[in-house]
A and B are shown apart, each in its own frame.
Chain A
Amino acid sequence: MGEAMSLGHGTEAALITDVVFWAIAVSTIIAAIAVVQLNDLFRAALFLIVSFLGVAAMFVLLRAEFLAAVQVLIYVGAISVLIIFAILMTRDVEEGSPSNRIRVPAGVAAALFAAMAIFVAVSTEWNILDAAIDSGAVPVALANGIVDVFENTVPRIATLLVRDFVLAFEVASVLLLAAVIGALALVRGR
Chain B
Amino acid sequence: MVVAAIIFSIGLYGALTKRNAITVLMSLELMFNAVNLTAVAMSRYIVPASVIGEAQTAVTKDIESAVQMVLTGQIFAIFVITVAAAEVALGLAIVITVYQTRDSIFVTDANLMRN
Contact = CB atoms under 8 A, between A and B. Distances in A.
Q: How large is the interface on A (under 10, 10 to 19, 20 to 34, 35 or more residues)?
A: 35 or more
A130 B52 CA distance: 13
A148 B67 contact: yes
Contact of B88 (A52, A79, A95, A106): A79
B20 A83 contact: no
Interface in A64-111: 64, 66-67, 70-71, 74-75, 78-79, 82-83, 85-87, 89-90, 92, 95-100, 102-103, 106-107, 109-111
A120 B44 CA distance: 18
B97 A176 contact: no
A58 B85 contact: no
Contact of B74 (A82, A87, A153, A180): A153
A13 interface: no
Given A83-B88, A187-B97, A36 B18 contact: yes
Chain B: interface secondary structure?
A: helix
A179 interface: yes
B16 A156 contact: no
A164 B62 CA distance: 15
B75 A161 contact: yes
Given A99-B19, A114-B5, A149-B71, A35 B99 contact: no
Interface residues of B, number: 76
B16 A41 contact: no
Contacts of A137: 52-53
Nearest to A187: B93
B5 A117 contact: yes
Contact of A117 (B9, B22, B64, B87): B9
Contacts of A16: none
Contacts of A67: 36, 40, 74, 77-78, 81
B18 A157 contact: no
Interface string B51-73: 11100100110011011101110
Contact of A113 (B12, B43, B51): B12
Interface of A: 25, 28-29, 32-33, 35-36, 41, 44-45, 48, 51-52, 55, 58-59, 62-64, 66-67, 70-71, 74-75, 78-79, 82-83, 85-87, 89-90, 92, 95-100, 102-103, 106-107, 109-111, 113-114, 117-118, 121-122, 126-130, 132-133, 137-139, 141-142, 145-146, 148-150, 153, 156-157, 159-161, 164-165, 168, 172, 175-176, 178-180, 182-183, 186-187
**Nearest 8 CB-CB pairs, A to B?**
A36-B14, A179-B86, A117-B5, A114-B9, A106-B16, A145-B67, A110-B13, A186-B93
Interface of B: 1-3, 5-14, 16-20, 22-23, 25-27, 29-30, 33, 36-37, 40-41, 43-49, 51-53, 56, 59-60, 63-64, 66-68, 70-72, 74-75, 77-79, 81-90, 92-97, 99, 104-105, 108
